Every structure is written in structure tokens, then in C-alpha cells.
Chains A and B, each alone.
Chain A
Amino acid sequence: MWSWETAREGLPVILSGFRTTLLATVLGSALAMALGLVMAVLLRSPTRWVTLPLRLAADFVRSTPVMIQLFAAWVLIPGIDALTLGIAVLGVHYACYTCEVYRAGIDAVPAGQWEACTALSLPRRRVWWAVVLPQAVRNVLPALGNYVISMFKETPFLSVIAVQEMVQRANEYGSVHFAYLEAFTLAALLFLIAGYPASVLMRRLEKRLAQ
């Protein structure tokens, strides 16, 4: 049965894992956003041997479980600490989603904008940085934000490669003190408390940008 005392004692232990969870989310999504953008721009290359392998790889990563990807990376790439590796795998996994988001955003930039840039004979790099990306990124911000929230909720997968994130801590505390009920309930509530405001914020942003 529920014991408040156990819950109170377990809270700091579980919170100590929460820091790792947040760190993984922040760094993982930073990687996903940067790499996804690079992939989206590369996918618009006219050369087929750039786009085809990239598209196949992204498709493969998107349709296979992140948990197995974590295991596979863990055994195939030795000598990297678990947290760094986990962040890299999550980042690459989500980059394969965000690149689609960016692609849609870039496609939505009116053709007239590209033509105007050509007419002004702006250099390629300035076309991307000054004209296309600012418009594309603004429209896809809510979608990117939603992927950050998804990643936050998938960080417990990192525990399969022994990263001391929140659920790993909760599991440990639960098994040692025979307090699974308190430990996992607290972990669930912490996810809700941290994630829910972010989801509400994203929904509001989406509505505002849709107008």
C-alpha cells in the first residue's frame, strides 16, 4: 500500500535522475534540430546519390525501435560513455523525423521568394540563411516542439543502456526498498508536471501560427 514516508524519502533519489533526463532531452533535441536541418537541406540536393542513401537511412531509422538502436549502438560503438551515446542515438533518431518537418516547412516557402532571390542574384548561402530558413523554421516551430516533448517521454529508454535517468532511479529505489508503487507513481507524476505545461504551450503556439 501507499506509504507517504517512502514516497518522501524516494523523491530526492528520483529527482536526482530527473536532471539526467532533462539534460538528455535538451542535448538530444538540440542535436535532432541541427542534424534534421542539415538533412533537410541535403535532401534537396539534385544529386541522386546524395538523396537516395539519405532517404533510405532516414526511413530505416524511423521504422525501427529506438530501444534496439540504443542496444545496437551500445555494443557496436565501444568506449563511449552511456549518456553521450544515448543522447547521440536519440538525437539521430529524432533528426530523421525533424528533417521531414523542415522539408515540409521549406516546401511551404512560396516559389516567388526563390524567384525573387534569383532575380536579385543573391548568393546561395544568403538565400538559405536570410530568406528561406527564417520563414520555414517559424512555421515548423510547433512541430519541432512536439518532438522535443516526445523525446522527453522516451528518455526512459536510455535506462536499457544503464543511463541513470529518472525511471532507472525509480526502478532501483523501488527494488531496493520494495516501493515500486511509490517510485513509479512519482516518476509518472514528474513526467506529467514537467511535460504537460510544455504541451499546452505548444498547442497555443500552433493555434497562434495557424491564424
Chain B
Amino acid sequence: MTDFFHEFARSLPGIGEGIGVTLLATALSAAVALLVAFGFGLMTRSPRLLVRGPARFAVEFFRGTSLYVQLFWLFFALPVLGIRLEPMACAVVAFGLNFGAYGSEVVRGALGSVPRSQWEAALALGMSPRQRLTRVMLPQAWVQMVPPFGNLLIQLLKATPLLSLITIADLTFEMDQLRSLTGSTAEAYLAILVIYYAIAAALNSLMRAVESSAKTRLGQDAGGS
């Protein structure tokens, strides 16, 4: 146990780097997922079948085929077709598309929950389609989207140990090095769990701040509690 703490302290720079890689992958994937979510979410609300159909198909495909398989497909199978992506790019694409597909349902649902009269009022005021979306619909829907987006963000964070399986030196990878160095397996895994727990708690409070700022912008009571 003391050996482990000794080695742990010595390996801190490496572990810090691993945490950095894990956070970077989470942030990049979340950014891609957000773009994908809005892209597909808006497309699936289109009245035109040619727009809605492909988006619907993509959403069902990425939701239905398991993140694990998607990541491995990009990493192992895509090179067979002559396209070789960097490991980190594989992860960001797989996570972005998978969580983006789940997020698009959130976007679609939240836009659907904005009262129809709001949309009609914007129409009556002669707003362009773009203004209707960005000035009226999205600010109201955004408040609804933040809590489920927060849940998805935690799910994404929890999927990042997969990075270590595709040769990326993330937190899990670095901890595994330490584990084989010290032989303190239990302590190493406990340490990873605790670090993940701390990151998840930080992300949770971040999302709560985002939610209350979105509410304040709408003039809703952010509820000081």
C-alpha cells in the first residue's frame, strides 16, 4: 500500500497526462456530438422526406449498433478499406456520432415541447425561418436540453476507458502502467474509479451552471437552491 502511494506520487506526471488525454477526448467528442445532435435533430424535424429520411436512418443506425463495435470498426475494419485514422480521430468520430445520435433525439424532443403558439407568433411577426429558430425556438428548447445533455456527457465520460483499448495513453492506460509496475492492482483500480468520480462530479456542477444560466436568460427563476 505504501509502495503504491510512493509509486503513485512518482507517476503523477504520467497520470496527469492521462487525465489530460481523457478530458481532451471527452471535450472533443462532446463538441462533435453536439454538432451531430443539432444537425440530425433539426433534420429529423424537416417536413421533407429526403431530409428527414437519411437523418432518421443514421440516428437509428448509430443508436442501434453499440458504441464498442463502432469504435472497433473504425479502428480495425476501416483500414482494410484503405482509410486509416489516427486512434484519437477514431474515438472522436465514434463517440461523436454515437452520442450525437442520442443527443439528436433530445434536440428533437425539446424543440417539439416548445408551445406551438410561440412558433405561430414568430410567423405572424414575419420572422424568417432562421430567426424563428435562433430567436424563438432554440433559446426555449435549450433549457429543456441541458439536463439530458448532462446525462449524455457523463455517459460519454464513462465510455472513455475504451480509448486504452485502441492504444491511446489515457487515464486507464497510464494507471495500467502503474499497476503493472507496482503490482498493486486493487489500489490502482480504486484510484481510477475515484478520479472518474471526481471528473463526473465536476462535469455535473458545470452542467448545473449552464442550466441555471440558460434559465436566467429566459427570465425563469433559476431557483437559488
Q: Tell me if B193 and A167 are in contact (CB < 8 A).
A: no
The interface-forming segment of A46-54, A69-77, A80-88, A120-128 is: A69-77
Residues in B lying within 8 Å of A, measured CB to CB: 60-61, 63-70, 72-73, 76-77, 79-81, 154, 157-162, 165, 172, 185-186, 189-190, 192-193, 196-197, 200-201, 204
Residues in A lying within 8 Å of B, measured CB to CB: 1, 60, 62-69, 71-72, 75-76, 153-154, 156-157, 160, 167, 170-171, 174, 180-181, 183-185, 187-189, 191-192, 195-196, 199
Contact partner, B193, options A64, A75, A181, Cβ 8 Å: A64
The 3 closest A-B pairs by CB, nearest first: A63-B200, A156-B68, A72-B189
Contact partner, B161, options A62, A67, A167, A180, Cβ 8 Å: A67
Q: Tell me if A76 and B186 are in contact (CB < 8 A).
A: yes
Q: Tell me if A196 and B64 are in contact (CB < 8 A).
A: yes
Chain B residue contacts of A68, Cβ below 8 A: 161, 172, 189, 192-193, 196
**Min distance, Cβ B53 to any Cβ of chain A, angstroms:** 16
In the assembled complex, 23 residue pairs joining A and B whose CB atoms fall closer than 8 Å, in A order, are A64-B158, A64-B200, A65-B157, A65-B160, A65-B161, A67-B172, A68-B172, A68-B193, A72-B189, A76-B186, A76-B189, A153-B64, A153-B67, A156-B66, A156-B68, A167-B68, A167-B72, A180-B79, A184-B73, A184-B77, A192-B61, A196-B60, A199-B60
Cα distance A9–B72 in the bound complex, in angstroms: 20
Q: Tell me if B65 and A191 are in contact (CB < 8 A).
A: yes
Chain B residue contacts of A1, Cβ below 8 A: 80-81
Contact partner, B68, options A76, A157, A181, Cβ 8 Å: A157
Q: Tell me if A75 and B66 are in contact (CB < 8 A).
A: no
Chain A residue contacts of B189, Cβ below 8 A: 68, 71-72, 75-76
Contact partner, B165, options A160, A191, A195, Cβ 8 Å: A160
